[in-house]
Each structure stands twice: as structure tokens, then as C-alpha cells.
Structure 1
Amino acid sequence: MGIKALGYVVVETEKAAEWDRFLTEFVGAMHAGDAADGTALYRVDDRVFRLAIKPGTREWFVAAGYEVESRAALDALAEKVAAAGRSVEWASADDARARGADALFRTSDPAGNGLELYCGDARTAEPFVSPIGVPCFITSDMGMGHAVFSAPNFDETIAFHCDVLGFRQTDMPRFELFGPDGPSMGFAFLHADNGRHHSIAFGEGPVPPSGAVHIMLEYPTLIEVGKAHDRMKRFGYPESATLGRHVNDQTTGFYVQTPSGFDLEVGCDSLVIDPATWETTRHEAISTWGHEWAWQKALKEQQGEQA
């Protein structure tokens, strides 16, 4: 058995109040109280939290937390990570409980991206109630959603996630983001032991200043995505990519910049795969329609000014 699913993410920030408004009034997450160290916890389902917003002195994506099947599987994974030359830092029992886990260790991949691997997923009987009326988020055994990182040492990093951690390839494209005459960029979309198309993904390039590229949350319907798009415009949050539909995971949605600088993908109708029989694809396009990126808009404006 490999990785079950993305359980949670941890963010360090100086903008805790901005994050609270972003998550509760825009996303529709439920504030589930604060940990002993002041970390604000937010729910989108029956897990005790999915997003941990930790007060600090920088804007930084600390870690993505991935669940494994059992303590035996976690111990075996820790041995493999150490044998691969990566650090293994076991959390104390109290720290693990604060993450909603029975046991947990921290590490990083060869690109330095923060990871937490854990077993035991704490749930609550208290109903999820969105403060703005979002009926639910699509999670269940597919986990929270996905996290996307960058890796300058792309091949080494992908090998670590597949050969050591146990993710498997879903889609392995090279995108020509700057046209056929420009450089292409490798991407890796990797799935866990569930039906979500990818639980983690990587772009070939330097680690961004925020520590991550984006995370994704899935709404139940296009109506909820559209309502979120309206809220984004009403609050004046920067749109990182317009509404569109991806080729590989078929998600329809948009991207918005979080208070810490990385993006949140808000989407719906994502493809559900059979992880046991899926064969790797290599799509050549990012989107079937839409998804004009902020950098593309800026490039057009610059070219217009120079014309």
C-alpha cells in the first residue's frame, strides 16, 4: 500500500486575520477552533481539520500531510525515506494528536518541499456547517484535494515520490507554455490509492517564494464554483486564472491567490479514476477551454504597450 490521500495542509503566515476571512467568507470553510500554539484550524468535512493556519514571521507553505494505511506502513515508509537520504523527524504524541493523527513524521523531498506522513485520521461527529452555506466539499476517501509544488531537480524529485513514497503516475506531460518556439516544461501528476486524478503534482522549475504552487478544493457543483467566483470578485481577491476546464483531470474551475501568495484552485466535476488499473497519460494541453493565466494577461499587456 502507498499513500491513501492528502489529509491536510499547514501554512505559516503573518496574515492570520486575512486567512480567516479568506477561508470562512470566501471559501466557506468552518473555523474549528485554535490549537494550543495559536494555529487556527479549518474544516471542510468531518475531519478535525483540513487547513492549519499557523502564526509566524513569513508567508510559507509548511507542509502537505499525507495519510498512510497503518502504523506498520508508516514505520516502513520512514525507513525507506531515511534510506533515501532524507531526514525523518518523528512528532511527539501531543504534536501528532494536534494534527489529528495517531503517529506522524516530518520530512522533505529532494526539492525541499515540506511533507508530513501520518496514520490515524481523527474525525468528529460535529456536523460541518459552512458559514456561507456551501453544502459540502468533495472529499471522502479521496482526501482533501491536491497540492502542487515545483522542483528544479524534477526527475530526482519525481523518483522520490514514486519509488520511495509510493505515489503513482497519472499524467506526465510537457507543456509548451510559451508557444512552440519557447522552452517546454515538464509536469508530473501523481495519484494516491484513491480515485482522485492527482493528490500531488509538480512543475519543473524553482520553488516559489511561498513554498508551493497551489492547493485544490473541490465543490459539489458548478453553481457553487460560480458563486465562489462571484465572491472572489466582490472581495477583490487576485484571480490567477480565469474559469476553464482542464484536459487531464476534467476539473472545471478557476484559480485565486491566497493571502500567502500561492494559489487556490476552486473546481468541480473532477475525473475519478481507478488507481489500480490507470495507465499513464501524456496530455499536450492544459485546458480544453478557458484558464487564461494572470502572467499571460500581463504578457499581452506588455506586448501591447511595446507595439
Structure 2
Amino acid sequence: MGIKALGYVRIETAKAEAWDHFMTQVVGVMRAVSPCDGVAAYRIDERPFRFWVERGDNDRLVAAAYEVGDAGELAALRETIAGLGREIVEGDADGARARGVAEFFATSDPSGNGLEFFWGDARDDVAFVSPAGVSGFVTGDMGMGHAVLATPNFDEAHAFYKAVGFGDTDIPRFRFSDDPGDPGMGFAFMHAANGRHHSVAIAEMPVPPSACIHLMLEMKTQSDVGKCHDRMRAHKVPESATIGRHINDQTFGFYMQTPSGFDIEIGADPLVIDPANWTPTAHLVPSEWGHVWAWQKALEDSKGEQA
């Protein structure tokens, strides 16, 4: 049993118009046919949608949805998760049809982060055309990208994702200060049964109101990434981290803030792994260069004012 890939994400928002502008004019994804009332959908490839954005009172990631191979694997996974003490909410036929899947169920990890698991993913022959001129997104067997979630009970959550079927790729402990007593922050970057370095990651911190740290999309070229960075600036979207390159997955990219408060990472040219023969690593710092975070800039500015 294993997880194939991240299939789609469900987002609740009280800022539907802002999300539409952000997705189409800044990220450059394509509007899709709405799967049901109150939901706007967006596509990046031949799947009917990858982003499900539903109107609501909150701004949060409702669920990251992961694909498994068939009905038998989904049934076995349901039993595993129930055995771990997590509630299972069975999906009905209408819900499956709206999601473009054969069967699904909803659950959550030990920190309450929303998850869906499904099999029987849909595809169609509608060509992806970016309203902003993006040449394309890298998906296929590697899925839509990755989700990074927060957990205050790191060890329990890490064990949960391993039991579900993810494998360890990089298990670092990052320290973000010069304090020798800083215990650091645990991270687990975990792969599915494909070449993407991680399809899910967890960080040792309280779960934010947005229920997400960031989502990642991979564009086909560095030029696409740079042009998206220009659109971010032109549309005055808050930049969360400058352009840089990660050490562990080698992704070239940047981070910006979504209308719901969590970030989206836009990247290109990442490392592609062999999930069957990968030996987990433990890098000491997240980035090879760049990726100056907004909080770092604010801290530097504050120190400059005090000098």
C-alpha cells in the first residue's frame, strides 16, 4: 500500500473574488467548470480541477487530497487510519462525482489537519490555457505539488504519515537563530510513490488558523517562475520569501501569500528522486541561497532602526 500523489486541495474562503484574481492573474491557472454550487474550481493540467475553492465564513485549507491505486488499497487505508483512532467520514456518490473520483473518504491527522484519500481519478481532453501565459505546470505521475502542514505533536504526526504510506525523504531540524540553546524546529519531508521529493511535509509548530503553511506548484521553466514573481509584485501580493534555491529538493522558486493567509510556493527544476531506493537525509538549513523571509526582513529592519 502506498500513496500515489497529491491530487487536489480544498480551500474555504470568505474572499472568493480575491482568490479568483490571485489564481488567474497572479499564479496563472485556468478557471474550470464548477463541480457544485458555491465552489470555484481551477485547473493546471488535464485533471478537471486541482483547486477547489468554496465560499464560507473562514479562510483555511479544508483538505489535501491524496490518491491511492484502487478500491482495495483505499479500503485497506481506511482500516489503517481507523485503527490509529482517527475519525473516518465516508464520501457519497455525489461528493465523489463532484471531486472527479471513483470513491473517497475524509479524515484528519493527529493535529486535526484535514485530509481526503481517493482512487479513480478523472482526466479529460480540455487543453490547459493559462490566462497569464504560463507555459505549463509539472504534474503527471508526481501529482499537483505538495502541501506543508503544522503539527505541535510532531512525533505522533510523523508516525501517522508513515503508517498511511508516505516515506521519509529529508528529516532535518532547522534552527532559525544564533542562540546555541535554540532547540530548533522538527520537519519531515515525505514522499509518495513517485519522483517528487515530497508530496507532504510537516513542521513542528502550532496549527495556524489557515490550517496550512504552504502549498507548492511546479512550473515548467525558471522563466515561468520569474514572470510569476513579476506578477506578484505588479499585483501587490505580499512576498513571503524571496527567490532562492532549497538544499534538500533543489527547487528554484519563491513564496507569496494567498488571500487566506497561508503561502504558495512557486518553483521549478527540483530534484527528482527514486522513491524505492531513496536514503533519507537530514539537511541543516533549508536553502542553498536566497529565500529571505518576510519575518527576517522585518527583524533586520528593526535592528537597523535600533542601531
Matches within 5 A, 1:1-307: 1-163=1-163, 165-181=164-180, 182-307=182-307
Query: SS at the partner of 2:61?
Result: strand
CA positional deviation for 1:303: 1.9
Stretch deviating more after TM superposition (297-306 or 57-66): 297-306
Which portions of structure 1, spanning 4 or more consecutive aligned residues, are displaced by more than 4 angstroms?
none
Query: 1:232-280: CA deviations, max 9, x gaps?
Result: 0000000000000000000000000000000000000011000000000
What 5-or-longer segments of structure 2 have no aligned partner? none
Contact 2:41 2:52 in 1 (8 A): yes
In 1, Cα distance between the equivalents of 2:178 and 2:166? 30
Q: Percent identity?
A: 58
Count, aligned residues: 306
In 1, Cα distance between the equivalents of 2:286 and 2:36? 42
In 2, Cα distance between the equivalents of 1:15 and 1:251? 30
The residue type equivalent to 1:123 in the other structure is R
In 1, Cα distance between the equivalents of 2:132 and 2:247? 30
Query: SS at the partner of 2:67?
Result: strand
In 2, Cα distance between the equivalents of 1:304 and 1:115? 43
Stretch deviating more after TM superposition (181-190 or 111-120): 181-190
What 5-or-longer segments of structure 1 have no aligned partner? none
In 2, Cα distance between the equivalents of 1:51 and 1:87? 24
Query: SS at the partner of 2:4?
Result: strand
TM-score by length of 2: 0.98
The residue type equivalent to 2:100 in the other structure is G
The residue type equivalent to 2:36 in the other structure is A
CA positional deviation for 1:101: 0.7
CA positional deviation for 1:134: 1.1
Query: 1:78-118: CA deviations, max 9, x gaps?
Result: 01111110001111111011111100000000011000000
Query: SS at the partner of 1:3?
Result: coil
In 1, Cα distance between the equivalents of 2:223 and 2:283? 28
CA positional deviation for 1:180: 4.6
Contact 2:35 2:99 in 1 (8 A): no
Query: SS at the partner of 1:34?
Result: coil
The residue type equivalent to 2:88 in the other structure is V
The residue type equivalent to 2:174 in the other structure is F
CA positional deviation for 1:196: 0.1
Query: 1:146-190: CA deviations, max 9, x gaps?
Result: 000010000000000002x11000000001112252331110000
CA RMSD of the aligned region, Å?
0.8
Query: 1:213-239: CA deviations, max 9, x gaps?
Result: 000000111111110010000000000
